[in-house]
Structure 1
């Protein structure tokens, strides 16, 4: 019985040694060591003491103790590795979340710009439609109310245009007519044959506004205004094109 108790005591002491060794190992893995060799002075002394105790055990029990110590050391390393992996994963997840938030913000900003652009285009289209309707209606009325004459002065032709062209577009319309014909409703381009105030080519195009297109400035003004609205959006848009290209 005494010998058995001695063996059991030695084994318990060996297990204690293993536990102490494992604890020292955990400290080293976790970065708790402070000396240049990776262990503090106290840990070095404890390890030396534990090694002496381990040497007192029989070889078989030493193997058991060492196996336990290695197992505990492996567990400690696994825990440390798992902690590091969790930290790395958390950092990666944070970065991905930040990237996703930035992408979402940029997409929202782009969508807002596109929506604003669509609203502006719709507003301009509605404005042009309103201008076209107003111009067409007033042109028909003004054209029919103007008495036909055998000839017209420049002042008379300009007065017709002021009645037929919207006031905010008249100056642009006038600029084009100034350059194209000088307000001569019978002007003919000797090279191309373009005719009238707005130099329609061929002049017969203006027949869509009236059969008297060759002799009636009002008919030419009506046709020219409709042409500028249909092709460019307005007389001012047509004038902007003319300035950029020298013609329209």
Structure 2
């Protein structure tokens, strides 16, 4: 049985890792962890984007609504891309290039994406709270 199959078949993470480590050792393999900076970089990027949004959206209710949408749409990943639609960024603009109206750095700058997202939510739903209410009723905005 392969290590990957063992990992898929066992639900408990600790048990899976123990079983995989034993199986790997028996097969003469060594298990190595993924680089820690990969997960940390993503968490750092999300934290930075959230901090920027907090500064741009001082009202707590509006920030919370915006945050809920972004969490559901992209997980606060500035580079999130929907493989089926091509929607891009924190707020999943479709097409992503629409965000160029907020800045030429729309592909990489969370502030630019947040600015565009806020303008979109205000224009279409009146506010992030209005957008979140729509999202909750429809599963999209």
Same fold (TM over 0.5): yes
> Corresponding residue for 1:223?
116
Q: Secondary structure at the match of 2:94?
A: coil
Aligned-partner Cα distance in 2 for 1:241–1:217: 23
Which of the residues 214, 230, 240 maps onto 2:107? 214
Which residues of 2 match residues 1-248 of structure 1 at below 5 A? 153-167=45-59, 168-248=61-141
Runs of 5+ unmatched residues, structure 1:
1-150
Aligned-partner Cα distance in 2 for 1:227–1:165: 14
| Structure 1 stretches of at least 4 aligned residues deviating more than 6 Å after TM superposition | none
Runs of 5+ unmatched residues, structure 2:
1-41
Normalised to the residue count of structure 1, the TM-score between the two structures is 0.39
Aligned-partner Cα distance in 2 for 1:156–1:206: 19
Of Structure 1 and Structure 2, which has the larger fraction of its residues in helix? 1
Aligned-partner Cα distance in 2 for 1:166–1:231: 20
Deviations 1:143-189 (A, max 9, x none): xxxxxxxx962111100000001323000000000000000000000
Alignment CA distance shift 1:161-1:223 (3 Å): same
Q: How far 1:225 sits from its partner (Å)?
A: 0.4
Deviations 1:50-83 (A, max 9, x none): xxxxxxxxxxxxxxxxxxxxxxxxxxxxxxxxxx
Q: Secondary structure at the match of 1:186?
A: coil
Deviations 1:102-155 (A, max 9, x none): xxxxxxxxxxxxxxxxxxxxxxxxxxxxxxxxxxxxxxxxxxxxxxxxx96211
Aligned-partner Cα distance in 1 for 2:55–2:62: 12
Q: Secondary structure at the match of 1:170?
A: helix
